[in-house]
Chain A
Amino acid sequence: MPEAMGFFTDTTVCIGCKACEVACKEWNQLPAENGGVGTLSGDSYDNTRRLDGIHWRHVRFIEQFKGPYDGRWLMMSDVCKHCVQAGCLEVCPTGAIIRTEFDTVVIQSDVCNGCRACIAACPFGVIDINPVSGTAQKCTLCYDRLKVGLEPACSKACPTDSIQFGPITELRQRAQKRVEQLRAQGTKADLYGADPKGPLGGLNSFYLLVDKPEVYGLPAKPQLPTRNLSKSAGFSVASAAVLGVLALVGLRKHRMDDMGGPGGGGGGGGQN
């Protein structure tokens, strides 16, 4: 059984070159958007804007500027988090989403029927429909490359080693050292998703951030979708019981009215 593999993304060394986006698109033969005609976001240098069915990597540009010379750029190459407890895998009704021998989460495109339950279940907004296949798609952590001993295309292409690939235990140690180094330099730095006792049992793609997770478009405390199941089902059953009682009480009242009224028939539950 191979070790759990994943990504450690050090956002402090990301230069926003988008080599990872291009490598991902190329290796996975993902189609172009809008027929290949570029569309500009109009309010940011980030024109990809989001992860979806045809963008499995997205270099997020966060422009924190108060004025033309007062601010900073934050950049983060975003991707599927390959959660240890994955909401998408939990709700998938077809069994299309599986956990691989590398502890990564993969959607089998030939099994998925495009119901989109996984899209709503993912707390990170990672998954979407690929309009070409009609199925839900996202990063596979290059499962096909891993199977033959290759590194994922994005981390291979990253020129600054912002995206680092390897066994999760090793990556966590490396990330912790980097956090300590940055803090010693006076830079605020925290790991997001590296704690196996944290939300979702830890993320197999985790990040080093220098601001709050929300600034990077990441939820502070991501949760599994099934957290609401028992309470929601319980309230539904209770309301059904209330309606059942109301229906029967109403029926009995009508019977009593019939019996009390002139020419009213007797009770009895007979029919036909």
Chain B
Amino acid sequence: MSDTFFSGAPHWTWFIIPYFYVGGLAGGACFLAAILEWFGKPEDRPVVRAGYDVAAVGAILSGLLLTVDLGQPLRFWHMLFQSEHFPAIMFKAWSPISFGAWAILLFGLFSVLSALGAKAEEGRLRNAALRAVGGVVRGGLAKLVSGVGGILGFFIAGYTGVLLSVTNRPIWADSPWLGALFLVSGASTGAAMLILLAPGRGAAQRSVEWLSSFDTSALVVELLVLALFLVSLGSINRVWLSFWGLVLLVGVVGVGILAPLRLHTKPAQAAKLVLLGGFLLRLATMLGSEGIDRYRLAAGM
């Protein structure tokens, strides 16, 4: 019996699961947009712009979900500033939830700036102030802003898993691979979302092909990391002898990874399955652990 079975469940459920999913997806999309911003061709611009939009909307949604989940939502700023010594900064480099709060704020800032730059590029900003900000970003800062946003995006995708590992809960704290797994899943779902959105934004066929080939590679890596995650759990794997084990096996591995790999010639269909699989991954890992009540209750004590 792992010592993690004696801890209590934090009830991170119906706001945090969507946050982990949306945050990972937005982070992955931002990373891919940054890659194309730096190394892409003019024909890739629609994908870049779609990536920034997904990142900005995802970052804002993530912040809202995190805030609503708090027991005292109006005290969300206590994670950023010391409430008793405002404006002194509140930051713990060894606490993922602390540096994650700062990361989501900065990711939101940089992804919104990138999105404004992209909107300015398309000439779609009517507000003068926003047009000015977008113009500044487009006028030479685009690559820098995009690069920082892309790194922060991957950070957001990965830290959500690291946060779970830095607990004392079953499954989460029993493996160091959750951060890597969530990061790779964020990349695959980010690419999948762009595969679905980019054609509507005028993306070239070659850009979508690149996204599709990247998604295929990411899914292979995801399968490998998922295998490493399960191997590292060792005897803890018996927790998967439950409904959530079925979701992991059929939903995540079958529907979310193997089926899209088989459907790689039909990117849109594969992308929808990848998006579903990414959500089910968060669902199974979160609720698989949340569902395990304390050992003393499970043991009938």
Contacts and interface: CB of A to CB of B under 8 A. Distances in A.
Contact of B96 (A96, A124, A229, A247): A229
Given A222-B3, A236-B162, A243-B187, A95 B39 contact: no
B209 A254 contact: yes
Contact of B7 (A44, A124, A240, A242): A124
Interface in B167-189: 167-169, 172-173, 176-180, 183-184, 187
Contacts of A116: 10-12, 71
B79 A115 contact: yes
Contacts of A119: 8-11
A123 B6 contact: yes
Interface size range on B against A: 35 or more
Interface stretch (B217-225, B247-255, B274-282): B217-225
B83 to A, nearest CB: 5
A52 B206 CA distance: 56
A93 B95 CA distance: 7
B14 interface: no
B130 to A, nearest CB: 20
Contact of B168 (A122, A231, A268): A122
Given A243-B218, A246-B221, A254-B206, A93 B92 contact: yes
A251 interface: yes
Given A113-B79, A124-B7, A217-B301, A90 B95 contact: yes
19 contacts: A44-B300, A60-B301, A87-B168, A93-B78, A93-B95, A94-B90, A115-B69, A116-B10, A117-B10, A117-B95, A120-B168, A225-B173, A229-B166, A232-B176, A235-B177, A239-B225, A243-B31, A246-B221, A270-B42
Interface of B: 1, 3-12, 31-32, 35-42, 44-45, 69-73, 75-76, 78-79, 82-84, 90, 92, 94-98, 101, 121, 154, 158-159, 161-162, 165-169, 172-173, 176-180, 183-184, 187, 206, 209-210, 213-214, 217-218, 221, 225, 294-297, 300-301
Interface of A: 43-44, 46, 49-50, 52, 60, 62, 87, 90-96, 110-117, 119-129, 133-136, 214, 217-223, 225-226, 228-229, 231-233, 235-240, 242-244, 246-248, 250-251, 253-254, 258, 265, 268-272
